[in-house]
């Protein structure tokens, strides 16, 4: 399936991102978002916006991320102060809103929540969270498993990615943001994932 990305979207992407690997990741993410948009009843244009622009601020310095986060109206919590790269999601959404006049509120929410997730996510938010982890440029086994699950169930894929990410952070002795913990707990208690599940 040959999927073309809007040239103006690529122009905007390269205006802010200079790292070639991140550019390729963003383009691959956008293509996967379009690919799965029909399956999960998502507007393909909005899916492309969310995918191509989700990491616009990933190359920014910690200071720039903090400054633009405050300018956007997003306060900086203690976890984001400790690890400012978490702010790139909110800053990317802020920049995208300025660059793209017809982006939907749902696509902007997907960009904001693609790193930490949220308890209440729309289909486009879930899809971006999963595909950011699993797009084809990611060649580790967990990404392949997430792609396999996504072909069957967005809910199963979401739970797998949330759980896998948390386990990775724990194994790396990294701080867990409360939003991610809350999302995991909600999926277990409300999403039907209580008990052992083998994917």
**Residues in the chain, total:** 199
Q: Which residue has the tokens 């999927």?
A: 3
Fold topology of 7-190: Hypothetical protein af1432 (1.10.3210)
164-187: buried (b, 16+ CB within 10 Å) or exposed (e) per residue?
bbbeeeeeeeeeebebbeebbebb
Alpha carbon 7 to chain centroid, angstroms = 22
Domain residue spans in the chain? 7-190
In this prediction, residues 19-39 reach a mean pLDDT of 97
Distance CA 190, CA 199 (A): 19
pTM score, whole prediction: 0.95
Residue whose C-alpha is closest to residue 94's, from 116, 124, 126, 64: 64
pLDDT of residue 118: 97
Q: Is 116 helix (H, G, I), strand (E, B) or coil?
A: coil
- Average pLDDT score over the chain: 95
In this prediction, residues 15-38 reach a mean pLDDT of 97
pLDDT of residue 199: 62
What are all long-range contacts of 136-144, with beta carbons under 8 Å and residues at least 24 apart?
A: 136/28, 136/32, 137/24, 137/25, 137/28
| pLDDT tens by residue, 73-109 | 998 999 999 999 999 999 999 999 999 999 999 999 9
With 80 as the cut, is the pLDDT of residue 194 above it? no
């Amino acid at each position: 399936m040959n999927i073309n990305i809007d040239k103006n979207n690529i122009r905007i992407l390269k205006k802010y991102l200079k790292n070639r690997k991140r550019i390729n990741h963003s383009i691959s993410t956008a293509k996967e978002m379009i690919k799965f948009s029909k399956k999960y009843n998502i507007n393909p244009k909005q899916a492309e916006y969310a995918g191509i622009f989700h990491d616009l601020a990933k190359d920014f310095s910690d200071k720039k991320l903090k400054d633009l986060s405050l300018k956007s109206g997003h306060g900086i919590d203690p976890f984001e102060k400790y690890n400012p790269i978490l702010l790139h999601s909110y800053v990317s959404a802020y920049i995208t809103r300025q660059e793209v006049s017809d982006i939907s509120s749902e696509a902007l929410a997907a960009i904001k929540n693609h790193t930490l997730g949220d308890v209440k996510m729309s289909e486009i938010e879930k899809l971006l969270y999963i595909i950011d982890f699993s797009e084809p440029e990611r060649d580790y086994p967990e990404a392949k498993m997430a792609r396999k699950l996504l072909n069957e169930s967005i809910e199963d894929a979401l739970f797998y990615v949330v759980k896998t990410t948390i386990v990775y952070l724990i194994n790396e002795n990294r701080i867990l943001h409360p939003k991610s913990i809350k999302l995991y707990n909600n999926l277990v208690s409300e999403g039907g994932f209580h008990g052992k599940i083998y994917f």
